[in-house]
Amino acid sequence: MTWIWSNLDLIWDRTFDHLILSVPSIILSFLIALPFGWLAHRYRASRAVILTTVGVLYAIPSLPLFIVLPFIVGTSIRSPLNLIIALTLYGVALMVRVVADGLGSVDRDVQQSATAVGFSGWTSFWQVELPLAGPVLLAGLRVVAVSTVSLATVGAVIGAQSLGSLFTDGFQRGIQAEIIAGILATVLLALALDAVLVLIGRLLMPWTRRSAIGVVARPGAVARQEVTT
Amino acid sequence: MIEFHSVTKRFPDGTLAVDDFSLVLPSHKTTVLVGTSGSGKTTLLRMINRMVDPTSGSIEIDGADIGTLEPVKLRRGIGYVMQNSGLLPHRRVIDNVATVPMLRGMAKKKARDEALALLDTVGLDRLLANRYPSQLSGGQQQRVGVARGLAVNPNILLMDEPFGAVDPIVRAELQQELLRLQRELGKTVVFVTHDIDEAFLLGDQVVILRTGGKVAQVGSPAEILANPIDEFVATFVGADRGKRSLHLENHGDGDIVVDETGRLAGVLVGSGPSASPSTVSSESKAGPRGPGASAQGGDSR
Ligand SMILES: Nc1ncnc2c1ncn2[C@@H]1O[C@H](COP(=O)(O)OP(=O)(O)OP(=O)(O)O)[C@@H](O)[C@H]1O
Ligand SMILES: [Mg+2]
């Protein structure tokens, strides 16, 4: 325990390193998975190819990928960029299927009625299909976030700094508290990111909040204006 | 005015949904398409806003061939109301109504103000404006659907079984509301239903379809009721409704009126030994038809 108190700075630095690796990866995974998921959803022919490819991608073991990737993309092996690319690939592999499933989950009637009242293809995608796929996307993104945070620790083996460095260092120097601190901090970080995602989801998708009363009782600008006039 | 000229629709899988359909739908009138499931009603309706394009034939709105119009633009000028309202579940009532005007470029503030006024038009409390569709009853959702359909002040309003999913009492209420709206607004309404009573109530012109999108008969409700063109139409409209033979059955607690199929048609009020002028409990204004009892058939369908 004393180790933790006297090394809070170190833990904080590694947490920051960890965030630098995971947050961009999570965001990139989502953004990159969107078009591929959409393709897989939209075109039957592409679906099998895309989903099989991402399935295979996910099956690549992480350590070899971290080591091989620099030779392919030309980054240095310890650079955060190398890890971010690898983590993004795994995130994409998970997220593409989620996007395809999420878009597929949108009620056909709602889509049809959006078309019927005059939403054009892209307006309908951004304003109707994507938001309505939101709950599924969020569920997938939460899995991606947690798995990315956990996977980022592996980078420590090849010398990329992260919370994983606390376990590798702890093992080498035989400091048990450091190992425990690394594990705890990783779990807490995963939980914290998950909580952030849930919060973002609530803000962006107020209609999914089942506590309908809260939504109704809070008088919006329009109702207030009407009641007082 | 909407005109169908020899319109045929065959879907890619070979289904012939509409077969050589020609019809004029007069402006400011309600035309009801009625027929059994799969008779092509929805397909016909969707051809008017180009959700479905005909395989052959053409459709004109006020003389312009809609095949030459841009579908998205066309749809933004036509109101559309469907069963289960088709509201966007992630937008508040007010935004659902304001959606299409905003797609057409109206400023948000103005669109919302007009949307609120439309809630009044369809008889909805403005306090519901900030709810999400899932927080409304089915009947309320349908009203929002109608308000949304009216939002761009379209000349044409397409309604696909809009009251199909609500209970009979709410349905009757919504039907009356639509009749009132139609008296005030005089839209060209195309209304799809499989309920012949609803068709006769709402329609200035009623089109009875048989399977395969073939017209069985077109006419005003009175014309069709008086002169069903064939056996199919007669059965469909229940033409026997005017001359149904009703009889009384005693069920202990009182006499009930039963039609020839054994279906309960009404209750004889004030019947029994001490029967004063006996009337059947219905809102019939018709005079007594039978000996000592005026019987009004219930819903024949
Ligand atoms: N997209 C489609 N592809 C293939 N067949 C279709 C399609 N849409 C409709 N059909 C077929 O066309 C026929 C007419 O369908 P339509 O939906 O117009 O019927 P409807 O009269 O509206 O029926 P309901 O009362 O059940 O709504 C049916 O046999 C239906 O299966
Ligand atoms: Mg239909």
pLDDT tens readout for residues B127-161: 999 999 999 998 999 999 999 999 989 999 999 99
CATH number of domain containing B70: 3.40.50.300
Q: How many Cβ atoms are within 10 Å of A61's Cβ, its own excluded?
A: 8
Q: Which residue has the tokens 């004029």?
A: B24
Residue B297 pLDDT level (bands cut at 50, 70, 90): very low
Residues B116 and B253 in one domain: no
ipTM of the complex: 0.78
Query: Domain boundary residue among B215, B236, B257?
Result: B236
Report the SS3 class of residue B265: strand
Q: What does the alpha-carbon distance between residue B278 and residue B266 come to, in Å, rounded to a whole number?
A: 13
Query: Domain boundary residue among B184, B206, B236?
Result: B236
Residues B135 and B37 in one domain: yes
Measure CA A163 to chain center. 18
pLDDT exceeds 70 at position B281: no
User: Which CATH number applies to A2-228: 1.10.520.10, 1.10.3720.10, 3.40.50.720, 1.20.120.530?
Assistant: 1.10.3720.10
- Could you tell me the residue range of the domain that residue B261 belongs to? 242-297
Q: What does the alpha-carbon distance between residue A228 and residue B300 come to, in Å, rounded to a whole number?
A: 50
Q: Kindly give the residue spans of alpha helices, DSSP state H, lying in chain B.
A: 41-48, 71-76, 93-103, 108-121, 138-150, 168-185, 196-202, 221-226, 231-237
Residues 6+ apart with CB under 8 A from A17: A80, A161, A162, A163, A165
Residues B161 and B249 in one domain: no
Instruction: Check residue B238 and give its pLDDT.
Output: 79
Residue type, B222: A
Residues B27 and B125 in one domain: yes
Instruction: Check residue B293 and give its pLDDT.
Output: 39
Find the mean pLDDT for residues B222-234.
89
Residues B214 and B249 in one domain: no
Q: What does the alpha-carbon distance between residue B155 and residue B1 come to, in Å, rounded to a whole number?
A: 9
Find the mean pLDDT for residues A178-182.
91
Residues B284 and B197 in one domain: no
pLDDT tens readout for residues A20-56: 999 999 999 999 999 999 999 999 889 999 999 999 9
Instruction: Check residue B276 and give its pLDDT.
Output: 43
Residues B227 and B200 in one domain: yes
Query: Domain boundary residue among B218, B236, B254?
Result: B236
Q: How far is A216 from chain B (nearest CA, A)?
A: 6
pLDDT exceeds 80 at position B250: no
Structural domain tally of chain B?
2
- Pick B20 or B267 by higher pLDDT: B20
pLDDT exceeds 60 at position A117: yes
Q: What does the alpha-carbon distance between residue B24 and residue B214 come to, in Å, rounded to a whole number?
A: 15
Within an 8 Å CB–CB cutoff, is residue B107 touching chain A?
no
Best residue in A222, A227, A228, A229 for a mutation probing chain B (most B CBs within 10 Å): A222
Residues B111 and B249 in one domain: no
Residues B94 and B150 in one domain: yes
Q: Which ligand 1 atom minimizes the distance to the CA of B194?
A: 25
- Pick A211 or B62 by higher pLDDT: B62
Find the mean pLDDT for residues B85-102.
93
Residues B203 and B290 in one domain: no
Residues of chain A contacting B154 with CB distance shorter than 8 Å: none
Considering the entire predicted model, what is its pTM?
0.80
Ligand 1: lining residues by beta carbon, under 6 Å = B 11, 13, 15, 17, 35, 37-43, 194
The token pair that represents B181 in the structure block: 């709206």
